[in-house]
Amino acid sequence: MAKFTLNGKPVEAPEGTLVLEAAKKAGVEIPHYCYHPALGNPGNCRLCVVEVEGAPKPMVSCRLPVKDGLVVKSDSEAARRAQSASLEFHLVNHPLDCPVCDQSGECGLQDYYMKIGRYQSQVREDKLHKGKRMPIGPHVMLDQERCVLCTRCTRFVDQVTGTRELGIFGRGHMERVDLIPGMALDNAYSGNVVDICPVGALTERDFRYKVRVWYLEETDTICPGCARGCNISLHTNTQRTWHNEGRRAARIKPRHNPEVNGYWICDEGRYGYKSLDQDRLGRVIRLKPRQELSWERALDEVAAALKNGFKAKGPEGLAVIASGAFSNEDWAAMKRLFCDVLGVRRFLFSPEPDQVGEEDGLLRRREKVPNLKGGEAFGFGTEIPSKSWESLAREIEAGLVWGLYIVDRDAAKVWKDKAAGLFSRLDLAVFQGSCKGKTGDLTHYRLPATAYAEEDGHFTNFEGKTQFYRKALEPLGQARTDWRIFSELGERLTQSAPLEAAP
Amino acid sequence: MECLGACDYAPALLVNETLVGAASQESIAASLGQGDIPDFRSRRDPVAQGYETTRILTRHFNEERLAELPVYRSLGGYQGLEKALSLSRIELIEEVKKSNLRGLGGAGFPTGMKWATVPADGKVPGPRYVVANADESEPGCFKDRVLIERSPHQLLEGLLIAAYAIGAKDAFVFIRGEYGIQYRVLRKAVAEAEKAGLVGGNILGKEFSCRVRIMRGAGAYISGLDTALLESMEGKKAWPRQPPPFPTVAGLMGRPTVVNNVETLSMLPAIAFNGGEWFAKIGVPKCGGTAVYSVSGHVERPGVYEFPMGAPLRRILEAAGGVRDGKKLKAVIPGGASTPVLSSHEIDVSMDFEGLRGVGSFLGAGGVIVLDETVNMAEVAHNIERFLAHESCGQCTPCREGSEWTVRILERILAGRGVGGDLPNLQRIGENITGKVICALGDTVGVVTRGFMKKFPKDFERHG
């Protein structure tokens, strides 16, 4: 450990830690743009200059390692003046289009101007003009004029994705960030460049102008897009429903967790929030004959149908298809209902064929559902084997199955043309889920379940890390959590008290 | 198009790779029309003849065909290398330390000390490199161009001596793209030396092997800065690296690398042959030997002049024939466009690193620019700042934005649209750049205009 002095106070940090980092840990924010803990410290923005005792000139704190006896001042008159001077240079040619820049509210130039700037502008010259509103990939828009050339984005595509779509072209004041000729910023992690851009130069095409950031509420939660369980922050907009094209969720931002996802998330996860408002089930419906039901009535009917089936054909003929998007709480309730109460043997947890995604060495996993691992802890997929989609279809065709309970999996999509024929052979088919899919139209009952953003729960990721995800939105329509549906159904089947208290 | 390194033939232009000196409307028209391009080398470089001075690098410059190996060898060439190879590396580095040889590319760092910071082979095993920095490109500096052109083997010999001293098996010459003729001269010299067993395996029959390769730059002032040069050699944009680590520890491809200027390396054969003490005695304390000055501007005989370190600037100007056309001297920029200007009464300064620092300027790369009484210093400042803004690599903000801002204010002042507060603002911008940037170019941006404003305030005010 090195003992040094920061703004007159003694601070301890491991030898070699950058002063900028050590200061941050000690609660002292030194302004900076180019330094990013995951992308290094090129020291080119020159904002993090500090006064160092004995040094002839100000030093950049992102390149200065702490050592014993170092005396640093980040808030002295000289340090403030140096920081303010650097900021002034950043702003010489920065266009004043703040009212339309969608970084508003999250712009490092604005923030630092209020903290260390507040000078009278001496710029009497015209601003230089560079490219504006340039779509550089499916998700990202570039505004070269606003760029402060911190090089975080070019370092990201160089060091993190290795795809190198972006480069710095030209030199001096004509320097600009741009695409390498013939390329587009279309890698699987492209959205991250927007997060790391400290100003409004890189914006999300998806999010631009949809809603001002200060209207958003943030909820720390977990991405359900694959078995990684990236830590995210879900930004929702429920106060001004006329913004954001009526969508409740506005965007997803990665949340730093060094043990799971570092600073990043993939684009698939980032834009996955759109499913929260798409194709959702809102009402409890019996389809044959079609009628909207109350939860009580629907559960009574389903329980009665299950009991009848048991009486007539036994538990062997009941099959359950369940998704890996269950929380650990859902898995537990499901085990109680289907294994302990009903003694079901036929289970299917295999992903749908198109739920097998691409895997790379960075974050994305082949497994596109978040919590098969959590199910394994309850024996699903291990002690309780999973059938294949094909063999279950054959068993239904052979008349071995009278009832099918499907949770969150679009069986009809997998079985395609065969689906209608298969469902017609069943005495009872129940669909429980958040999105209707093709299956939602073929079953006898449709029970709306909450999406991940509408419930609290735990996912266990592929490495066995169990993480808490939080409710960010009220459930849509009559949707209930899977575990609550299971336990209330179980209550009806056993005629006993509910297995869990209702939330 | 960058600086051509040909102020001695100004106005100069490059037609394809041929330099046309003393260009006039007629010669430009002729060169464009007929393809019969006059060779600028028909003019001979004046090299301080008949002056009581010790010449080291330029002493054989009047020999015909000095660039050819047999001629160079007949004049004692490669005997320095032979002598160096008879010493141990440590002994050789000691000799260079004793010589007080300073880096003559501009920074003036003691060469022996630089070599000594290369980690020992036992400490960091594996390859290490030597690079000859032939990326001279500061307005007013052209001595490296002449040294390569006239005596390429002298550079090559020095390069091999440096390679031996630090244990490098690969040596490079990084030469700027604009130096087309010089590139070919050098390439021919390397081929000759290879054939004669002076480059390659077991040089001069000794247990020392070294390859030499020449790399051409793409034309950027900043590539002359050692760390930016290394980036360029690695195939990247020439952005300076911010030490530490210094190149001698982690340079080309992360390996220990010594980057020395052409003139510095060219001094080595003589030092190796005559010994460090001999060299040290020629100069002044802390600055050994001689320096080759490029003299240009309003003088009678622009060209390269070799003088012992510490010679007064006045003597150099006299050697170049004094101010041309009988005009009065107004100012001298002593070390190349980026060094702070001296007024006419400061020319008794001792021309060496310490001497010039004493009057608030630098020796730089020894590019002496002479300005007569007709010159408006605001225009000169604008010209130099425009060059620096154009050449700013853009990596760090104060230089990228501050240089262009400075230019635009100067432009406005020169156009008669100056407003109150412009001069203090220029001063303030300069102060805010200097000392807050990654490399020397940025520092220079802040220094130049302030120097001119301080010494010639009237030239600025009369436009205001």
Judging contacts by C-beta atoms under 8 Å, the chain A residues touching residue B220 are: 171
Chain A residues within an 8 Å CB radius of B393: 171-172
In chain B, the residue whose alpha carbon lies closest to the alpha carbon of A90 is: B397
Preceding amide of A42 cis, omega within 30:
no
Model confidence at B251: pLDDT above 50: yes
Q: What is the pLDDT of residue A499?
A: 38
Scanning B133-197, the segments in alpha helix (DSSP H) are: 143-150, 152-166, 180-195
My answer on whether omega of the bond before B11 falls inside 30° of 0, hence cis, is yes
Q: What is the full DSSP assignment across A246-309?
A: G-SEEEEEE--BTTTTBT---HHHHGGGGGGGSSB--S-EEETTEEE--HHHHHHHHHHHHHHH
Q: pLDDT digit string (tens) for A121-144?
A: 999 999 999 999 999 999 999 999
Q: Are A292 and A343 in contact (CB under 8 A)?
A: no
The H-assigned helical ranges of A69-202 are 77-92, 108-112, 152-155, 192-196
Counting residues of chain A whose pLDDT is more than 70, the rounded percentage is 98
SS3 of B14, please?
A: strand
Residue B323 DSSP symbol = B
Residue A490 vs residues A157, A301, A302, A363, B128: alpha-carbon distances, Å: 52, 13, 11, 38, 75
What share of chain B has pLDDT > 90, as a percent? 83
Closest in A58, A167, A174 to B436, CB measured: A58
- What average pLDDT does this structure show over B242-246? 91
pLDDT by residue (tens digit) across A366-391?
999 999 999 999 999 889 999 999 99
pLDDT tens digits for A391-426?
Answer: 999 999 999 999 999 999 999 999 999 999 999 999
Under an 8 A CB cutoff, do B436 and A46 touch?
yes
Compute the average pLDDT of residues A222-227: 96
**Can you tell me which residue has the tokens 């008290």?**
A497
Q: A448 φ, ψ to 5°? A: -75, 130
**Closest by Cβ to B397, choosing from A44, A124, A125:** A44
Q: At what angle do helices B422-433 and B397-414 cross, to 10 degrees?
A: 160
Positive or negative torsion for Cα B292, B296, B299, B303: positive
What is the structure's pLDDT at B258?
98
Contacts of A290 (CB under 8 A, 6+ apart): none
What's the complex ipTM? Answer: 0.92
- Whether B4 contacts B12, CB under 8 Å: yes
Give chain A's mean pLDDT: 93
Q: Judge: B393–A168 Cβ closer than 8 Å, yes or no.
A: no
Is B392's CB within 8 Å of A168's CB?
Answer: no
Our CA-based measurement puts residue A22 at a distance from the nearest CA of chain B, in whole angstroms, of 20
Lowest mean pLDDT segment, chosen from A349-363, B61-75, B242-256: A349-363
Mean pLDDT of chain B: 92
CA dihedral A55, A59, A62, A64 (to 10 degrees): -10
DSSP summary character for residue B122: T
Question: Is there a cis peptide before residue A503, judged by omega within 30 degrees of 0?
Answer: no
Using 50, 70 and 90 to split pLDDT, how confident is the model at A502? very low
Chain segment A91-108, per-residue pLDDT in tens = 999 998 876 777 778 899
Coil, strand or helix at A385: coil
Asked if B397 and A148 come within 8 Å (Cβ–Cβ), the reply is yes
CA distance B38 to chain A (A): 34
A286-344 pLDDT per residue, tens: 998 999 999 999 999 999 999 999 888 888 999 999 999 999 999 999 999 999 989 89
Chain B closest CA to A439's CA: distance in Å? 55
What are the chain A neighbours of B403 within 8 Å (beta carbons)? 172-173
- Residue A463 has a pLDDT of 96
* Nearest-Cα residue of chain A relative to residue B432: A85
The edge-to-edge listing of strands for the beta sheet with A346-348 is A290-292, A285-287, A445-448, A428-433, A403-407, A318-322, A346-348
CA distance A322 to A466: 20
**Other residues' Cβ atoms within 10 Å of the Cβ of residue A462:** 16
A231 - beta bridge partners? A222
Positive or negative, the Cα torsion across B296, B299, B302, B305? negative
Q: Is the distance from CB of A62 to CB of A18 less than 8 angstroms?
A: yes
Q: b/e map of B11-44 (b: 16 or more CB within 10 Å)?
A: ebbbeeeebbbebeeebeeebeeeeebbebeeee
Backbone angles phi and psi of B343, in degrees to 5: -85, 170
The nearest alpha carbon in chain B to A121 belongs to B425
CA distance B395 to chain A (A): 6
Judge: B398–A173 Cβ closer than 8 Å, yes or no: no
Q: Looking at the complex, report in whole angstroms how far the Cα of residue A186 sits from the nearest Cα belonging to chain B.
A: 23
